[in-house]
Structure 1
């Protein structure tokens, strides 16, 4: 018997970093995501294959049930396998039926976006496993990867959301964020990874005045999610960048790479990595191509 599960990718428009401390965040599920196909086999083992969007296998392993039960760590060079065992072990701790009532599995995952795009390879996996094992995805995330959980919320949402941790519990509110000016919003892949640990460390060092920042970000998020006016949207996005720049003690991505851009550029997620959002009156593809960033997606091609 074959079972198939699917989860959406994500982009965090407002609230990066501060969402960890309870700030409101506007998050958008993407048209891209990841599927997980489960077939029952024998041998008390999971044969796991993960495919990238181009059809290539980027991970393959045999994982004995016993390794999952004991949370066995393979040598450190097999980091992906160790992480997967840890996730499956935490799932087993919550609901052991998928191990105790089975003889084995063939599991296949398929990304519909290139793995290095950073749209949620881990969060879609977490949500898919939680659906399969019939457990709470937020708890599985908390016990394995950690994080705010906004990405897991996007994984199971088919509309834009406001995400917030209230008393450390996730609160998800669907919002009607389909602005007429979406044609002026573009997503640009930077093809580089930002070491977010330094930024996060700086963020936590500044937590003494975090509550003032959260209050400001909450107001910005509310305006960004509801405005029908492009100029107001752009203004609030600029204010958001300034607020986070001060909090993280980092220059904005526009100051660093795109100071001559005729429009507004905003980091999405960890500053300096993966995708940015560009707000422009005209299609900016040529501008970014000349800067060395050829992957520019229109809003309707990226967002669900």
Structure 2
């Protein structure tokens, strides 16, 4: 019997990097996400096909059950296959029945956003696999990809979240975020996908005395979530950029790319790629497109309605 599972994508509005050290982060689920369809077959293998949002196949492989059980590793030309086997192996260690009591599967994944956008190709996959196998997605993430887990919370919820790691365990607070100024908010794709793992490694090399920063970020997150005026919201995010700029020893995205922008620009997630959030009085689409950034998405088009 064929079964289909779905998970939301994510955008991290506050708390990038420092969420790993226990700061409160604010994140929003996106209208874009990923489907996973599972159909029983024969042969003790998984026929796996992954489709991008334009219908093109970006990954295809036949994975024997035996490769999953022993976590077989192929050469470097098969990076995606190795990663998938690693995830499925960890899932097998948690809940072996999907291998030991099955004959085979045909599995299809379908992104509803372009893979290069970085809205959570991995997190939506992990959450979908966890739904399929009825296991804890946070545990599966920790054992495979790692990371804070805020993206799993977005995958599972249709509302804003405040996310925090307390004693290395996820604490999720659902928040209703629907201010009157969402028409002033636009998400802009920076034309390149950032490697989150590399960015996190770089952060851990520079986050000395982070204890002083965490309460500041917590306060900013509270202000952002509760803001009723666009100026309050924008100034809080501007302060956030300055705080992270000092920690990461990097220029803010506005300083490096959009110095003449009339408004505030906030990096989202790993700095230097994926999406940024712009806040301005006027629609900024023409401004960004003149600079070569064609993907400018209004808030209402991007974020799950709350």
TM range (shorter): over 0.9
Secondary structure in 2 matching 1:86: helix
Secondary structure in 1 matching 2:58: strand
> Deviations for 1:238-281, whole angstroms, at most 9, x for unmatched residues?
00000000011100000000000000001100101010000011
8 Å Cα contact 2:268/2:275 also seen in 1: yes
8 Å Cα contact 1:202/1:249 also seen in 2: no
8 Å Cα contact 2:10/2:151 also seen in 1: yes
> Deviations for 1:103-152, whole angstroms, at most 9, x for unmatched residues?
00000000000000000000000000011111100000000000000001
Shift of 1:200: 3.6
**Which residue number in structure 2 is paired with residue 133 of structure 1?**
133
**Which residue number in structure 2 is paired with residue 12 of structure 1?**
12
Unaligned runs of 5+ in 2: none
- 1:38-49 alignment to 2 at 5 Å? 38-49=38-49
When the two structures are aligned, how many residues end up with a matched partner?
Answer: 304
With normalisation by structure 2, the TM-score equals: 0.97
**In structure 2, do the counterparts of structure 1 residues 170 and 69 end up closer, same or farther at CA, with 3 Å as the change threshold?**
same
- 1:134-149 alignment to 2 at 5 Å? 134-149=134-149
Cα distance in 2 between the residues matched to 1:125 and 1:198 = 20
Secondary structure in 2 matching 1:128: helix
Shift of 1:45: 0.4
Cα distance in 1 between the residues matched to 2:287 and 2:120 = 27
Unaligned runs of 5+ in 1: none
> Deviations for 1:32-68, whole angstroms, at most 9, x for unmatched residues?
0000000000000000000000001100000000000
Shift of 1:75: 1.4
**Which residue number in structure 2 is paired with residue 254 of structure 1?**
254
**Which residue number in structure 2 is paired with residue 22 of structure 1?**
22
RMSD of Structure 2 on Structure 1 (CA)? 1.1
Cα distance in 1 between the residues matched to 2:50 and 2:199 = 31
8 Å Cα contact 1:35/1:111 also seen in 2: yes
Secondary structure in 1 matching 2:91: helix
With normalisation by structure 1, the TM-score equals: 0.98
**Which residue number in structure 1 is paired with residue 276 of structure 2?**
276
